[in-house]
Amino acid sequence: MHVKIKSSELYKQIYDLVLAKIDRKEWKEHEKLPSVRRMAEELNVNRLTVLRAYQLLKEHKKIYAKEKSGYFVQPEDPSFSLNESQLPEITDYPYSNLLSSIHQVVVDYQFSQALIDPNLLPNSYLSEYVKKVFTLYPKVLGTYSTVQGDEELRTALSDYFYKTHHFFAPIDELLITSGAQQAIDLVAKVLLRANDTVLVERPTYSSAIDIFRQYGARIIGIEIGQGGYDLNQLEHILKKDKPRFFYTNPTFNNPTGCTISALQRKQLVELAEKYQCVIVEDDPFRDIYFDKAPPFPIYSYDTDGYVIYIRSFSKYVSPGLRVAAVACRHPLMSHLITSKSLADNGTALINQKMFLHYFFSERMQIHLEKLRTALFLRKEVMRNELAATSWKWTDPSGGLNLWVELPEQISVEKLLDACLEQSISFVPGSICDPDQALRSWIRLSFSYANEIQLQTGMKKLMTVAETINSDSTYHQSG
Ligand SMILES: Cc1ncc(COP(=O)(O)O)c(C=O)c1O
């Protein structure tokens, strides 16, 4: 199938260039494409740009990837060949999810995914709950969930939030979504018009930036650090830029691990009310703490309905179940429910029931305790390896990541390219920044790789960084 594109950005031009060569049969079916590195050198562009173009070509089934061998021209499927008049025209590329492009590269040392090692998840217990759910609800596969989510689950969550999160959300103010990612998307769909301003933390969860951009938002950032935000600056932004909402991840922020104090949470709600700015609180790491439990959610301070609370459970129950909950007041909730009905008519009922029975079991508490210890140990392993460098990093008291600042002379882009070639992945800090600066920072997730992989992979990463460092010193002095 041939795609007509209005191209403007660099990776789109590379996409076009490769596509043209394939269409002209200069590159034939199953022929290997130049490696990402070679293509980047030839075109004098960043390797991540080539990677983005290749990923998009892969998504559009123009090329395919073979593990550790590279990219190859996809043979045409005769059943899909359309003539020119049948060609769909796409107006532009969707904003690609940069994080997902990095995750798609298969590596031995996975430090890019803020995802828990599946070996640490209660897989065999979960399968017991599958059986239990079929016994309890024999018709579960023959039934739709309600759009808003299973009532039994919402009732249990309402009670859970009241007891553990210090807020009361009646069941009609709760919506079950297919992961927090869907919740962020639904909120953006409901609240954003093109050219609206969205305030985010700097740095923040990069996929949220990509979602807001897709809806045409102008994104501005407010720095988050160990002491939280500069509230004077925040107030100045609220007054001057009138953001439609402030998307925040205030508890073990991804990527920094910073947590906003209870006092700032309260002040934030006051500011939101004063300037009529909705706060979208994304809270997936709340239970992954290494010391003491974090402050209660911002939502618990809200009396006037300015906060939307998104609570994902993917991080420690099962990412595969795709269950998250949103709490907010009406009429906003009614709009979110409409939007959810248009998106998928409700999250799969079987997933909701499995989550319900597993999450509220005693076993869950035991699992959570063990998980905290295992993750703490993995964090320590990564920290110990980093201690051999002169790099700086924050030591988070929860979450899944270390946020690391490299010496200025090490190019993070070059490091990422070289690491991917050595089968190591991480997230470049710039993609977590709405200004795409923070070029000396990287996010290293310690939750996916096991302790041996952490030790070996970190040593390798540091060797690669040393090589790049000495190359740049050589070039500077030479
Ligand atoms: C801050 C933040 N929000 C949302 C998500 C997505 O969560 P889910 O898997 O529930 O869609 C992630 C995943 O890494 C995240 O870090």
Distance 398 CA to ligand 1 centre (A): 15
Closest ligand 1 atom to residue 324 Cα is: 10
**What is the distance between the alpha carbons of residues 160 and 169, in angstroms, rounded to a whole number?**
10
Q: From ligand 1's centre to the CA of 236, what distance in Å? A: 29
Atom number in ligand 1 closest to CA 249: 1
In the block, tokens 């689950």 appear at 153
What are the sequence ranges of the domains in the chain?
Answer: 10-93, 109-120+364-477, 123-361
The tally of CA atoms less than 13 A away on the side-chain side of residue 426 is 31
Task: Report whether 249 contacts 203 (CB < 8 A).
Answer: no
Phi–psi pair at 133, nearest 5 degrees = -65, -40
Gap from CA of 44 to ligand 1 centroid (Å): 34
Tokens of 267: 């002040």
Integer CA distances (angstroms), 422 to 105, 354, 463, in order = 12, 39, 11
Alpha carbon distance, N-terminus to C-terminus of the chain: 50
pLDDT at 478: 43
Ligand 1 centroid – CA 39 distance (Å): 33
Any idea what the Cα angle at residue 14 is, between residues 412 and 67, rounded to 5°?
65
Question: Residues 187, 308: contact at Cβ < 8 Å?
Answer: yes
CA distance linking residue 4 with residue 240, whole number of Å = 40
Cis ω before 331 (30° cut-off from 0): yes
Which two tokens mark 181? Answer: 């990612």
200, 201, 314: residue to mutate for ligand 1 pocket, most atoms within 8 A of CB: 314
Ligand 1 atom nearest to CA at 253: 1
Across the beta sheet with 218-223, the strand order is 174-177, 324-327, 307-312, 278-282, 245-248, 197-202, 218-223
**Neighbouring residues of 202: CB distance < 8 A, sequence distance ≥ 6:** 221, 222, 223, 224, 433, 434, 435, 438
CA 295 – ligand 1 centroid, Å: 20
Query: Among 205, 323, 431, which residue has the most ligand 1 atoms within 8 Å of its CB, making it the best to mutate?
Result: 205
Q: What is the pTM (predicted TM-score) of this model?
A: 0.82
With beta carbons less than 8 A apart as the criterion, state whether 112 and 415 touch: no
How far does the centroid of ligand 1 lie from the alpha carbon of residue 1, in Å?
A: 34
Helix, strand, coil tally for the chain in percent (to 5):
45, 15, 40
Q: What angle do CA 144, 308, 241 make, to 5 degrees?
A: 135
Residues flanking ligand 1, CB < 6 Å: 114, 179-181, 205, 249, 254, 282, 284, 312, 314, 319, 324
In this structure, what token pair is assigned to residue 210? 């990509």
CA 180 – ligand 1 centroid, Å: 5
pLDDT of residue 129: 84
CA distance 280 to 298: 9
Residue 224, token pair as written in the block: 């988050």
pLDDT of residue 473: 59
The answer to whether the 10-93 and 109-120+364-477 domains have the same CATH topology is no
Q: Residue 313 and residue 148: Cα distance in Å, rounded? A: 17
Neighbours of 95 (CB within 10 A): 14
Q: What are the backbone dihedrals phi and psi of residue 413, each rounded to the nearest 5 degrees, phi first?
A: -60, -45
The CATH fold assigned to 123-361 is Aspartate Aminotransferase; domain 2 (3.40.640)
Give the separation between CA 112 and CA 445, rounded to whole angstroms. 6
Pick from 299, 205, 218: nearest CA to 252: 205
Q: How far apart are CA 372 and CA 141, in angstroms?
A: 34
Report the largest interatomic distance among the alpha carbons of the chain, rounded to a whole angstrom. Answer: 74
Residue 447 near residue 284 (C-beta atoms within 8 A): no
For residue 176, give the nearest of 300, 335, 337, 298 by alpha carbon.
Answer: 337
Q: What topology is assigned to 109-120+364-477 in CATH?
A: Aspartate Aminotransferase, domain 1 (3.90.1150)
Residue identifier of the C-alpha nearest atom 7 of ligand 1: 180
* CATH architecture of the region 10-93: Orthogonal Bundle (1.10)
Give the position, in ligand 1's atom list, of the atom nearest the Cα of 182: 11
- The whole-number pLDDT of residue 91 equals 47
Distance 137 CA to ligand 1 centre (A): 29
* Average pLDDT per 10 consecutive residues for the chain, totaling 478 residues: 48 89 87 89 84 86 83 73 49 55 82 91 83 91 92 98 97 98 98 95 96 95 96 98 98 98 98 97 97 97 96 88 96 97 96 94 89 96 95 94 95 91 93 92 96 97 90 56
The answer to whether 29 touches 74, Cβ cutoff 8 Å, is yes
Q: What is the DSSP string of 211-277?
A: HHHHTT-EEEEEE-BTTB--HHHHHHHHHHH--SEEEE--SS-TTT-----HHHHHHHHHHHHHHT-
Other beta carbons within 10 Å of 120: 17
